[in-house]
Amino acid sequence: MRNVLVLSLLVVCHLSYAQWKPAGNKIKTEWAENIDPENVLSEYPRPIMERNEWQNLNGLWSYSITPREKARPEEHQGKILVPFAVESSLSGVMKEVGAANVLWYNRNFSVPAAWNGKKVRLNFGAVDWQADIWLNDIKIATHTGGFEPFSIDITPFLKESGDQELTVRVWDPSDEGTQPRGKQVKKPEGIWYTPVTGIWQTVWLEPVAEKHVKDLRVIPDIDRNAVKFTADVANAEYGDLIEVTVSDGTTEIASVKAVANEEFEITIDNPRLWSPESPFLYRTTVKLIGGNKDVTDEFKSYFAMRKIATKRDENGVVRMQLNNKDYFHFGPLDQGWWPDGLYTAPTDEALKYDIVRTKEMGYNMIRKHVKVEPARWYTHCDELGILVWQDMPNGDRQKDWQMRNYYEGNEYRRTAKSEQIYRKEWKGIMDYLYSYPSIVVWVPFNEAWGQFKTEEITEWTKSYDPSRLVNSASGGNHFRTGDILDLHNYPQPDLFLYDANRVTVLGEYGGIGLPLKGHLWDTGNNWGYVQFKNSKEVTDEYVKYAEKLKKLIPAGFSGAVYTQTTDVEGEVNGLMTYDRKEDKMDVKRIRNVNQEVINMLK
């Protein structure tokens, strides 16, 4: 019997591999070689709020691409590996969709019998951009927004037994629309990249009770040795309680019960503070207790005791502070793109790798550039210890970019629809990421792309999350609002504008190019701000820029961002090649000088 079972599994695996293989002939990462279509990105997708039971729906789905006006197709065109975008190699498809077409997905799944009596929620990590969802031929939801997760209660639409049919239709206008899209364009070149259409993060099922916690918001307060919690509870009734138990990893150190849907606080005696040098996390167990004392929901979570603020130093320069001490933020511009998966890392190990390598190069910060990552990426940052500046993905159009002075002109006017899309998606992104301690700076706008009502958006961002800093306009257009003045200058550092009342940072510089044969996405036209011929030349130039940066820190800089973590498509200005197989500089030398830069404020 055992031999028959093994043979059956081998047949299933063979059939899966027969239906899928990476498409195209572009370079790939080493992780792409080990992908099993039956076990794709199998890790729990939301570790900051981890329940015991769940079901992964990643894997091979049927797909079709049809004109937008056409009805659901009767037959499928092939198989696609979810959650890789249809334009990516790892999807197995590598086809363009475009604004005139839509992408259809279809698959069957079954609900475990043990989930009977519970609500079943269908979760999407991210779908770019508009997703219409059917279950068993009934349209149950529409969602817009390419960067935040969404969840649907599918319980009323499930059949009593047997297979359930799930259908998803996606429309993404790419740069023909005004929605947030980051670096995607229909004709990629230079600093612009391949479109990403459809499902690009994990799809999964989770059973919950009628009463359950939808979200947990956590705000540390190290000045008072306290941490504030707010649990958003579905279907709460009078008498329902939230219980949070805090552990230092080995020992329970605090526990409190509070009324559901009310803010409450826990005191942490002699708290261990989180920093890149010591990324300590407190672990928690959260329970929802009904009026009849039954536990209706339970999950694991974590938080960190850390504080981000600004303060004027003894020389009158406004500095960023971490845990009430001046702290220089230094890290790479991280686009988060992959040659084989585009927006989606091939594996969780790959997702973590860039963060690990960034730390090994001596940085303490990452600017996540015009993209939002899966939840596991932020947990890796929390656990490994790296500060994150989180950009809002740009959308709409760039107008009248003034980067070397304070803005003088009439701000870009979005249409009412474009403005509504921005506000909805920015709030959704902030809601999604609110409790990750590694995130210390919000960046609503970058280089005037779609920048509108800057002061209003900045003040809203600051009021919605007073616990973090707001870098309202990275690279311009500059207004006297928010916590940070952010300059961009290529290739060398330059302090050409200074704000005596806010933090001043160099939000982008560098871009030193080195094309390495055998590791290029585009073998024809490769782009960088300046280019060199070998690793020593690139390292020498990098160190020269770092030495200049060190001289500008006493004059006013409190943070800096080097462009960039990896090559991306036609760009060859990465610290690593696009396939992550080669470091392009002497890591020991740049680590040493990076630490010297950071230590200028210690």
Least confident range from 159-163, 455-459, 574-578: namely 159-163
Least confident range from 2-16, 116-130, 556-570: namely 2-16
Domain 212-303 = CATH 2.60.40.10: yes
Could you tell me how far CA 486 lies from the centroid of its own chain?
Answer: 21
pLDDT of residue 4: 46
Give dist(CA 201, CA 208) in Å, integer.
Answer: 21
On whether the CB atoms of residues 65 and 182 are closer than 8 A, the answer is: no
Least confident range from 6-10, 56-60, 202-206, 583-587: namely 6-10
Would residue 409 be called left, alpha or beta, if left means φ above 0 and alpha means ψ between -120 and 50 degrees? Answer: left
pLDDT over 90 for what percent of the chain? 93
The CA-atom distances, in angstroms, between 395 and each of 23, 303, 331 are 29, 32, 24
Give dist(CA 509, CA 505) in Å, integer.
Answer: 11
The structural domains of the chain, with segments of one domain joined by +, span 2-208, 212-303, 325-601
Q: Evaluate if residue 399 carries a pLDDT over 90.
A: no
Q: Evaluate if residue 224 carries a pLDDT over 90.
A: yes
- Sequence letter at residue 97: V
Please give the full DSSP string across 226-276, using - where no structure is assigned: EEEEEEEEET--TT-EEEEEEESSSSEEEEEEEETTS-EEEE-SSPPBP-S
Give dist(CA 56, CA 204) in Å, integer.
Answer: 5
pTM for the full predicted model: 0.96
Q: Evaluate if residue 5 carries a pLDDT over 60.
A: no
Structure tokens at 1: 């019997």
pLDDT of residue 16: 57
Q: How confident is the model at residue 11 (pLDDT cuts 50, 70, 90)?
A: very low
The CA-atom distances, in angstroms, between 541 and each of 328, 519, 522, 544, 568 are 22, 21, 24, 5, 20
Residues 6+ apart with CB under 8 A from 85: 91, 128, 196, 197, 198, 199, 200, 341, 342, 343, 344
Tell me what the mean pLDDT of segment 335-346 comes to.
98
Structure tokens at 28: 């790939």
Tell me what the mean pLDDT of segment 559-573 comes to.
97
In three-state secondary structure terms, 181 is coil
What is the dotted CATH code of the domain comprising 2-208? Answer: 2.60.120.260
pLDDT of residue 530: 82
- Highest averaged pLDDT of the listed ranges 54-58, 188-192, 527-531: 54-58
pLDDT over 70 for what percent of the chain? 97
Tell me what the mean pLDDT of segment 241-260 comes to.
96
pLDDT of residue 211: 96
Tell me what the mean pLDDT of segment 183-207 comes to.
96
The CATH fold of domain 325-601: TIM Barrel (3.20.20)
